[in-house]
Chain A
Amino acid sequence: MLSLKGVNVHIGKLHILQGVNLDVKEGESAALLGRNGVGKTTTLRAIMGLVAKSAGAIEFNGTDLATCQPHEIPRKGIGYVPQGRGIFPGLTVLENLCIGVTGKPDAQLEEYVFTCFPRLKERLKQQGSTLSGGEQQMLAIARCLMMRPKLIILDEPTEGIMPRLVSQIRREIHRINQTGISILLVEQNLETALKLCPRIFLMEKGTIVYSGAAQELKTQPEIVHRYLGLSM
């Protein structure tokens, strides 16, 4: 479904991505893990066309994304939940929710989204800036769902969220994946990644250094320690 082959990104003089190879299959849930500053967010931004790649190819369902304008990429079926959530603070919850929808919003889909995140329904007229961090994250995910994505890429969705909301967000990400939508999750939280994603990519210095099953990674604590600095 999504494949990155030898993707390189330079920002100024810095060589941020140094030949990233990664793929996400249809219906799959995969996590991209790594320490701060290894290039995880840049990888997602490269997929969304928000940063220009200097070499390599990114394909989604057979389409070379280099042939698309950045604003056309979400319409190909890739939903993006950016780091920091990217809620438009001066827009209402409803406006945020429907921002990517062209034409009349699908009432059935809207109802489904409110089933997943009932809190949003109570706050439709509130400005996005008035929501809590957890509610903003729910809105960011709900906003993606409204665009009927085939793949959602999430950049640290549980970062800075109250612990009791983290489990709800995890649950909803899992539920979304169960409906057939693929997930590519960037996480610092190993526990969240291992719970949600059967396949793991580890990143170090702008390149993928490990890819394999989550179960397999659990049996290799030395790899986790080397690339994430964590003990299992």
Chain B
Amino acid sequence: MMDTILLLALNGLIWGLIIALIALGLSIIFGLLDIINVAHGDFFMVGTVLTWYVLQETGLFWPAFILVPVIGFVLGALIQRSIIQPIRNAAALSIVATFGLSLILQELVRMIFGATPRRILPPIQGTIPIFGIEYEIYRILAAALSVAALIAFFLFLQYTKIGTWMRAVRHDRETAIAMGIPAQRIFILTFGIGFALAAFGGVVAAPITTVDFRGGVDLLPFCFMAVIIGGLGNLPGTAAAAILLALLEGVIQSFADPTVARISSLVLMSAVLMLRPQGLFRGLAK
């Protein structure tokens, strides 16, 4: 029993780290652009599908870690410019627009890729013993890569000029413009980064999930829960909440149905909304 709990907790932790990457993109897009991006789960799905393509075309998995986020960034920038920019200042419209985008992405992938779910084998096979259980090496690598990407993202935000500008625009768009910050370019960049983070999550997750045109649908509510529990626009809080939620669901799944695990997350989110609507990790906000 303990082995099962440990295994599911570890799996949950690793999913939490991957979801943190995706939820961060969702949170930063919401924080800067006031956009509720219903298509964000599909950005992850596009990442998994592109990974599959890279593997098919090159026979190699590793180039996907560079190629897929770059393609994701470009797609994100194009989407911001063509779909999001024209409806700026209309938050309600953004839900409709990104819902439409979600359907377009899913159907495009279904047309090109097909409706059959596929699997990618982990590029590193084998297991190593951890706390008395044999654990897949790739999953540990996935956790390490996710942590590295999270750290890189926070360092970028904290220590680069563009990162500082992104934080400034998030605080006060108008004053930022009056200080010479090209806010429109920051919006494009932010959406691109959001897509790239989700796509990177897709690359990391591709060998441990199924590659499917509806692969982002289940993920989206989980990301939204992380954003809400972490505190709207609170990036470190979002990352922490994603890890907490996935860990919670992982542990609960060791003795209960996955539906019960998801209900537990929803109960936690409801409790946070009622008792601490500013988010569970307000102290992490910056």
Interface residues of A (CB under 8 A from B): 48-50, 69-75, 80, 82, 86, 88-91, 95, 99-100, 102, 143, 147
Contact = CB atoms under 8 A, between A and B. Distances in A.
B167 interface: yes
Given A71-B183, A95-B164, A99-B164, A89 B178 contact: no
A58 B111 CA distance: 53
Nearest to A70: B177
Contacts of A49: 177
B178 A91 contact: no
B182 A91 contact: no
Interface string B172-187: 1011111111111000
A143 B178 CA distance: 11
Interface in B253-286: 285-286
Interface of B: 161, 164-165, 167-168, 170-172, 174-184, 285-286
Contacts of A86: 172, 174-175, 178
Task: Give the secondary structure class of B's interface.
Answer: helix
Given A71-B183, A95-B164, A88 B177 contact: no
27 contacts: A49-B177, A50-B174, A69-B184, A70-B177, A71-B182, A71-B183, A71-B184, A72-B180, A74-B180, A75-B180, A80-B179, A82-B174, A82-B175, A86-B175, A88-B167, A90-B170, A90-B171, A90-B285, A91-B167, A91-B168, A95-B168, A99-B165, A99-B181, A100-B179, A100-B180, A143-B179, A147-B180
Contact of B168 (A72, A82, A99): A99
Contacts of A88: 167-168, 171-172, 175-176
Most central of B164, B165, B175, B181 by chain A CB within 10 Å: B175
Task: Give the secondary structure class of A's interface.
Answer: loop
Contacts of B161: 102
Contacts of A100: 179-181
Given A69-B184, A71-B180, A95-B164, 19 more contacts: A69-B182, A70-B178, A72-B180, A80-B178, A82-B174, A86-B174, A86-B178, A88-B176, A91-B164, A91-B167, A95-B168, A99-B164, A99-B168, A99-B179, A99-B181, A100-B180, A102-B161, A143-B179, A147-B179
Given A91-B164, A99-B164, A71 B181 contact: yes
Contact of B286 (A50, A90, A147): A90
Contacts of A48: 177-178
